[in-house]
Amino acid sequence: MLLNEAITHMVSYIAGVIDEGQLGTAGTLTDPTDTGLGNAVPATLASATTEISDNQITINFNKLSTVATAITFREYEVRDGTNSVDWTRFVFTGQTALTTDDWNIKVRLFVKRI
């Protein structure tokens, strides 16, 4: 069994290495063998911030209205940009980025004993 101290350490480690987010246009279902976005839009690669509360990590990512407009996005990932590790990939119904809309994407990760 993992001890509480180990879980706290894992949460702190994960929150410490996740530092980027990126959007893409592929809508294929996620799979554990994915190695990143299906079709990344390079202009959307930007820094992300993390917050820790208990065993929950909240990742905050912003896409400004001036970046990558008139594109329909269907996927998002959070990354460890320093080590080029993709941590998550989420697929959603297409959303077109308009020049009037800033986006704030929040992702919550939980580490728990099962």
CA 27/CA 1 separation, integer angstroms: 38
Answer whether residue 107 shows pLDDT above 90. Answer: yes
Could you state, in order of their start, the residue ranges of all structural domains in the chain? 4-110
Q: Please provide the average confidence, as pLDDT, over all residues in the chain.
A: 93
Q: Write down the pLDDT at residue 27.
A: 85
Q: What is the separation of C-alpha 94 from the centre of its chain, rounded to a whole number of angstroms?
A: 17
3-class SS of residue 83: coil
Answer whether residue 72 shows pLDDT above 90. Answer: yes
Q: Is the pTM of this model over 0.85?
A: yes
Phi/psi for 25 (5° steps) reads -110, -5
